[in-house]
Amino acid sequence: MWIGLSIVSFVLFLLTPVRVAITVQREGEDDRLCIEVWTWFRWMGFRREITRVDWEGWRARYTRRTATIAGDRTLDAQKLWLTQEDIRRRWRQTRRFLRQFRDVRRALRAFTRHLTCERFSWESRIGTGDAALTGMLTGLAWMAKGAVLATATRYVRLKAVPHVRVIPAFDETTLSSSLTCMLRIRIGQAILAMAKLVWTLYKGREDRWRSIPSRV
């Protein structure tokens, strides 16, 4: 009996969906990034939020806050600096990842094909004070959003119709944008996809190490 209950509980755990909501907003000089991860009808999860990005030359100061998904308890809150050295280090990490991109591309595709986009909304408002320039930038924004959406649909399944808007403001100078994306994946699918990704990275490193000629 207990073995049967354990098997059923394990199967239900693997089939449990996990949702990830990503919100990126820019309104004037205010920037906000919020990532929410939850499951079990929002009983379990967390929220990480980055706000108040202040640039001082090549340095940026921002506030990072981690809380429970209900927002009733703060797990961590820090004021951090993003320096030029941090940018260089992350660029080097990105270059190393891109060099391995051919090795992990199939694994990433295996992971993203299990992702389902339940909601996608991207609204922007652009104004320069000049009608001709505003119209040109509005057209470029539509092209950029179309390219991003076309690329995303190659990797992620869309469940809802995307909501995309670019609002030209011909009589004012403004720039604001708000992007909201909600993704869903089952725990079992995420575990298998991550295991395949880790194995691909490990195997790629071993193959490159064996391909190095010995000097002995």
Q: What is the DSSP track for 137-164?
A: HHHHHHHHHHHHHHHHHHHSEE-S--EE
What pLDDT, on the 0 to 100 scale, is given for residue 78?
74
The pLDDT of residue 76 is 73
Q: How high is the pLDDT of residue 201?
A: 67
- At 215 the pLDDT is 45
What pLDDT score does 138 carry?
Answer: 95
| pLDDT mean for each 10 residues of the chain (216 residues) | 79 87 86 88 84 68 77 68 76 73 67 88 93 93 94 88 93 92 90 78 59 49
Answer yes or no: are the C-beta atoms of 61 and 72 closer than 8 Å.
Answer: no
Cα–Cα separations (whole angstroms), residue 65 to 29, 47, 74, 157: 19, 8, 7, 30
Predicted confidence at residue 103, as pLDDT, reads: 61
Q: Is the dihedral of CA 81, 90, 50, 31 positive or negative?
A: positive
Q: How far is CA 24 from CA 96, 107, 174, 178, in A?
A: 27, 27, 17, 6
The beta strands (E) that lie in the chain are given as 17-27, 30-39, 44-56, 59-68, 74-82, 116-128, 157-158, 163-168, 173-186
pLDDT at position 56, please?
67
What does the pLDDT read at residue 136? 94
